[in-house]
């Protein structure tokens, strides 16, 4: 069974030697950490990093160089059609970063340039862009392509992760209990829902992370670090196995 947001919450409290009573990690803070670190991890596995050095112009973890890294990002890889008007197309609303841009009939993929490079190419007598060798640049939330007579292109890109949500109720003993995604629960005497409900049935608004369990443990470790919990990644995994094994 895949790890849930509730499992990760337990692992972190166990690592901190805390219970879910007393608000050591408030659910609102935990939800913020889930959202932030899910995006941070995508940045890391896509290698949008600064690990270049002298004589090392390519990242050591450059996507496309490792099938292990590429497997991690598969859930976030998408294809979309860019429709151009006057050479300008809006990017998808869930766009995070691009992988490639292709135009039917072109001999090569669209060469993505910086503004200064585009200006140089447009004024060049030799390397001026054409339909066989198009170029383009990102401008805000749009992509501009040259020559502007091109009407469409295929965009292969990585989308933003969905926002994870940890929903819960608090029982009569003050313990925070996770509500599984899609679950319903009838509040008992002295129990409170996450929105302040004190009676009736509550429906979970939980949304699970899209990552595999291995990456979820990476996120758990990142959250521990952000909360000042000094723990090694492998130790957190050991704790997690102990907790899951005892359930």
Encode pLDDT of 184-209 as tens digits: 999 999 999 999 999 999 999 999 99
Strand ranges inside the chain, DSSP E: 77-83, 88-90, 95-102, 111-112, 135-139, 142-146, 152-159, 168-170, 176-178, 184-186, 192-193, 201-203
**What does the alpha-carbon distance between residue 237 and residue 221 come to, in Å, rounded to a whole number?**
9
Alpha helix stretches (DSSP H) within the chain: 5-15, 27-45, 67-73, 115-122, 213-226, 233-246
Q: What is the count of structural domains for the chain?
A: 2
* Residue 25, domain member (yes or no): no
pLDDT per residue as tens digits for the range 126-155: 889 999 999 999 999 999 999 999 999 999
Enclosing domain of residue 86: 67-159
* Residue 48, domain member (yes or no): no
* Residue 35, domain member (yes or no): no
- Together in a domain, 109 and 189: no
* Residue 43, domain member (yes or no): no
- Together in a domain, 98 and 140: yes
Which among 172, 111, 170, 171 has a CA at the least distance from the CA of 143?
111
CB of 129 closer than 8 Å to CB of 53: no
* Residue 172, domain member (yes or no): yes
pLDDT per residue as tens digits for the range 46-94: 876 555 454 544 444 455 555 566 778 889 999 999 999 999 999 999 9
- Together in a domain, 131 and 190: no
Bond from prior residue into 180 cis (ω within 30 degrees of 0): no
User: What is the side-by-side strand order in the sheet with 111-112?
Assistant: 88-90, 142-146, 135-139, 111-112
* Residue 74, domain member (yes or no): yes
* Residue 51, domain member (yes or no): no
Q: What is the mean pLDDT of residues 10-20?
A: 79
- Together in a domain, 79 and 134: yes
User: What is the side-by-side strand order in the sheet with 77-83?
Assistant: 77-83, 152-159, 95-102
- Together in a domain, 103 and 178: no
Place of tokens 């509550």: 202
pLDDT per residue as tens digits for the range 56-68: 444 444 555 555 6
pLDDT the model gives residue 1: 57
């Amino acid at each position: 069974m895949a790890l849930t947001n509730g499992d990760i919450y337990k692992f972190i409290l166990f690592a901190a030697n805390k219970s879910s009573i007393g608000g050591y990690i408030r659910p609102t803070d935990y939800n913020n950490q889930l959202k932030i670190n899910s995006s941070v991890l995508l940045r890391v596995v896509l290698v949008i990093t600064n690990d270049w050095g002298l004589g090392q112009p390519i990242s050591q973890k450059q996507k496309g160089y490792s099938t292990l890294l590429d497997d991690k990002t598969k859930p976030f890889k998408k294809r979309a059609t860019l429709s151009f008007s006057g050479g300008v197309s809006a990017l998808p609303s869930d766009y995070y970063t691009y992988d490639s841009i292709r135009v039917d009939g072109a001999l090569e993929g669209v060469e993505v340039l910086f503004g200064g490079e585009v200006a140089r190419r447009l004024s060049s007598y030799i390397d001026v862009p054409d339909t066989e060798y198009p170029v383009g640049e990102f401008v805000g939330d749009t992509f501009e392509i040259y020559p502007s007579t091109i009407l469409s292109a295929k965009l292969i890109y990585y989308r933003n992760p969905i926002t994870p949500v940890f929903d819960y109720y608090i029982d009569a003993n003050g313990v925070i209990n996770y509500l599984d995604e899609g679950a319903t629960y009838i509040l008992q005497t002295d129990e409170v829902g996450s929105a302040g409900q004190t009676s009736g049935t509550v429906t979970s608004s939980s949304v699970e992370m899209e990552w595999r369990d291995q990456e979820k443990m990476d996120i758990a470790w990142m959250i521990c670090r952000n909360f000042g919990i000094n723990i090694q990644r492998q130790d957190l995994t050991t704790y997690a196995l102990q907790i899951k094994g005892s359930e």
